[in-house]
Each structure stands twice: as C-alpha cells, then as structure tokens.
Chain A
C-alpha cells in the first residue's frame, strides 16, 4: 500500500510537469500551420526594440519590461469560419481552472476583444492575453513580462493611432 502511495506521489508531479497551459497548447497546435500566422518576439529582441524606439518613452519603457510577445492569427477566410480560439480555450479548460483573471470584453460591430491577465505583485500583470474573435477575426495575443496597466493607456494616449494587428502582414 505504502509503495503504491509513493508511486502515485511520484507520478503526480510528472503529470503536472507534462501539463501545458491551454494558451501554450493552442499556440503549439496551430504554429506554422497553413492559413495561420504565428509571431514570436523574444524578451531579448524586445530589449533591443526598447532601446531603438525613442519616440515614446512609455512605449520603450514597456518594451524593456517585456519577456515575450506571441501572436497567433487566422489568415484564411474559410478557416476563420471553422476555428474559434475562444471556444477552443474553453474546451481546453481555460475558463474552469486557469490562473488568468478576466478584465473586460470590448465589443464592437464585428469584433469582440476579450482581455485576460495574470496578476502579480503591486497590481501589475505578468501576462496580458487578448482573445480576439469575430466574423473575420481570430487572433490570440499573449504579452509576457511586467506590465503596468496604467502604462498601456499612456501608449495610445500619446500617439492616438487606430491600428489593427489582427490583419496580419507577416
């Protein structure tokens, strides 16, 4: 009996280690697949980017504090009708047992942007996750690092530009 308990106790952490977060699973599932665009920017490159960009101090400050940006989007119109990242995350149990906190849903004419964040000390985020869904949109944006929610607003406030990263060009 004791041996069995020991065996199970040894297997549990192995199973835990083998378990990936639903977000990682989704990125791995569709990375380099036809009709999908995957963009990875490492913390090292973001550090360089922060030094290169001097136009907005808030942007370069934020870039310096990031450890990675990952974007996954569907380019193909037919695939867009079949794939829904929000539903897939739900299937993977993202909403049942995740460590992300739902921040808000921004609903516009034909697009819904759902914000999720993993909080860290001092009201800051360690990861900001955006699940963009809609008629022609299916995008997952994961930004990792130390993110101050107040700085996010300052970026757009300074530049006041309307951009759409979900229309991938890579």
Chain B
C-alpha cells in the first residue's frame, strides 16, 4: 500500500469509518520495517501488544481485585425461561380449574314465578304436602317389612331363652347321669 492511500485510510480510521479489511491493510502497512517518517507516531496504534511492550496476561493486582469483586457480588440467579413458562402454564390451568369449579358448583338463578310471598307460601306448602303425601304412601308400603323385622327380633329373644333352657337341661342331665354311675 502506498503512503498516500495509507494516509486516506488512516484519516478514515480516526473518524471511525474504516472497514475491517481497511484496518487489516493498515496493520499490514505499519508492520513494514520502513515507513515514511510522518507515519511513525501512529505506528504504536497498529503494532501488536507485545511490540507495544504490553502483556496479554493480567497482573496479580488485577486478578486479586477481580476475585474480590466477584466475591462481594451476590450470585446472579439465572431464571430458566422454560421453567417460567411451565409454572405460568400450571398457574393458568389451576386458575381455570378453580373458576370452572366455582361456576359448576354455583346454583343456577331462576326468576321467581311469584312476587307475592303469601302466594309463594301457599304454593310451596301445597307442593310440600303433595311430596309428603306421596312420600308417606311409599313408606307405608314398607310398614309390613318393619313389622316383620320387629317380630323377628322378638322371636330371636324368645329363642335365646329356649336355648338357655336347653343348656340348663343338658347340665342337669349330665349331673343325673353322674349319680347313676356312682
């Protein structure tokens, strides 16, 4: 690269308008052993760090400071995006389930047929009487069954007495037999 061209690109470099390719060419230009005197003050910008007398390795103090800073800083909690999505999904589902259950359990509201409580009372009573009358009629059919159960219970009590009597009789019989053998 010629000095004139290098000058133009250098100008562009300081204006921050150079492309990567142009910067590479500049570095190549400054790496030459002999460059025009006017360019010499800029050589150190494009020389390798080693050439500038700098080291890539951080010094001990810098390392110590970095370690101290990292110790003092609270650990950054990394939130897993997938986990957030899963939990928000579960929360949304639970919300829907609870709302649906409340909606399902809620009794439907119907418009009253009567506006007069006395009229409603009369009709409600009439309904209850009808229900009760049929209910009792159904239960009365079961009356013989309950009577049968009562009789069975009473018979069971009598049978118990008879069984007890038989046991006593058997005991006496055994005693009598013992007397005969003596």
Q: Is chain B a partner of chain A in the same complex? A: yes
A interface residues, Cβ below 8 angstroms from B: 6, 9-10, 13-14, 16-17, 19, 24, 27, 38-42, 45-46, 48-50, 52-53, 59, 62-63, 66-71, 103-106, 108, 113, 115, 128, 130, 141, 143-144, 149, 152-157, 159, 161-166, 170
Closest to A144 in B: B107
- Total interface residues on B, CB under 8 Å, equals 40
Nearest B-chain residue to A162, judged by Cβ: B133
**How many pairs of residues, A versus B, come closer than 8 Å at their CB atoms?**
136
Quick one: which of A115, A149, A165 contacts B127, CB cutoff 8 A? A165
The answer, among B101, B107, B112, B136, for a CB contact under 8 Å with A156, is B136
Q: What is the minimal beta-carbon distance from A15 to any residue of chain B, in angstroms?
A: 9
State whether the Cβ of B165 lies closer than 8 Å to any Cβ in chain A.
no
Beyond A106-B137, A157-B136, whether A63 also contacts B131 by CB under 8 A is no
Q: Which residues of B contact A52 (CB under 8 A)?
A: 117-118, 121
**A13 in contact with B113 given A52-B121, A156-B129 (CB within 8 Å):** no
Interface SS, B side: helix
A63 to chain B minimum Cβ distance, whole angstroms, is 6
| Least distance between B129 CB and chain A CB atoms (Å) | 5
Contact of B107 among A68, A130, A141 (CB under 8 A): A68
Contact status B101-A13, CB under 8 Å: yes
Which residues of B are at the interface with A, using a C-beta cutoff of 8 A?
A: 89, 92-93, 96-97, 99-101, 103-104, 107-114, 117-118, 120-121, 123-139, 141
* Candidate in B93, B123, B134, B138 with the most chain A CB atoms within 10 angstroms: B134
Chain B nearest CB from A144 CB (Å) reads 7
Q: How far is the CB of B91 from chain A (nearest CB, A)?
A: 12
10 A-B pairs within 8 Å (CB atoms) are namely A16-B104, A41-B120, A45-B124, A49-B124, A69-B124, A113-B134, A141-B127, A155-B132, A157-B136, A163-B133
Q: A24-B108, A59-B125, A156-B136 are in contact. Are A141 and B131 (CB under 8 A)?
A: yes
